[in-house]
A and B are shown apart, each in its own frame.
Chain A
């Protein structure tokens, strides 16, 4: 008896189950970092408060906006290809890629400012966590961009249609997850009361 009946329109159950299980591992990967954050924020409350003031809230907020918008564009892309709109999918993937580049560029500006000011991972526990968490998140953004370039290449060759769009859908789920991690990172690192 198979649970693998085709979903109404979209990815088969196996692909969906696979990506959700993968996202569960990602959650635990970041979970340990959040645990470390919780512990050190309790034991070093004063340090965390002082150091977080050094981060640029405006750039952080801007990046939140950029990444949220990219989640919107890829969601529109999925809705588009489900209706068979190949051209709109390509536009949406390109926009998502551009926004991801924008996110990393802003991150680059922030990090180079930090390095210029002499704030490194070894500086203290707050910056150690800041660089580890945003760094690991940045790697996930990069990985997502790699996948989207591949999707764009496939879309260019007309591989996706209303009937077959599994890779687009599961990449979308991954991208929303990456977005979600940032939504937690932003207040925890930039907006400590």
Chain B
């Protein structure tokens, strides 16, 4: 069978295709079809010749096989220093081999490659900062995911996720109507307690355009309400777009670059339409990476920057605390030991470690750094889409041990994790390993600690 009905080289672009995939519970048929999916070696090699230039080719060629990348990789550490988890081995035995064979690889090899670049690498890019030659295996794993996607070898959930973005411009089936109604519902409900609170939709020329992760309207609408309360108390002139509100990109995890472009373009179109002064992204790491760090390149913007200046939520909070827009009641600061999960995407790959430290210095009395921390922190274990892929759940759970041990070493029972993937991974590690910790985004913490001006106080007070 050259291509399957569900597992094939075509991206999902219609609701019908998407529903067929969703109906295949756990991807049973999908993976069965994958076993029979033919490799289009010519197309694979053509793509490599077109897209694999001197940066990646040089990395693969001059890797001196020194092994310094080994201990930088949390998978290597979590798997009892299994040599097959050394980043250099993982990429040389997959992408390196595909190139050496000029794309002439078979189905089994591409499945091995898929299992490697999805279940043994979260594209956290930590190895890049430990390699003497600056070789970024995470970048190469991500590139390889793109090659695999073009050949139809992508995990079931990633195929669905990329399809969601192409159809809904969101990682989940949240329509414009769903989103707008959720905002209106949250505004209505929250304003009962917070007089004057609004969630302005499509307001032109606002100071802040606020954009989110689709999980928030879908599963955690209170997050939107919390954001609204904090903007309200800070006195911000803000808005949300009715379209182009989704920041995340499962397409990025999947390696569906056209899907990535379409997704970020919807956000940039909202910027053009509403002309905000700045954009603020919710507490999500990969969303920021996709739309702010990588997105401008997918959209072909030669500045490498988003059309309007963009802040991650931690930057906005740090700024609001610094300028006094948000004031912390000193009596309500966190008294217990607390630690912070540095997200790979906005700390290592986004440079926001200082903003996070500033926030912690203002809200916590006993802040404890993980070791290592900042840009050197380990991935939570759930990055790169791993949290959502059933086929690799066991490998993901093993990987969580490194984060578990880091948290335990701090002695803190509370983990601040302003990133959806980190938040999920830490929740799951508690569920699996039972170490007695709690985890939280910033928003609920801040709401309980800020000083609210008299005229804005909730009605029940």
Q: Do A and B come from one complex?
A: no
B residues with CB within 8 A of A:
none
Q: Which residues of A contact B (CB under 8 A)?
A: none
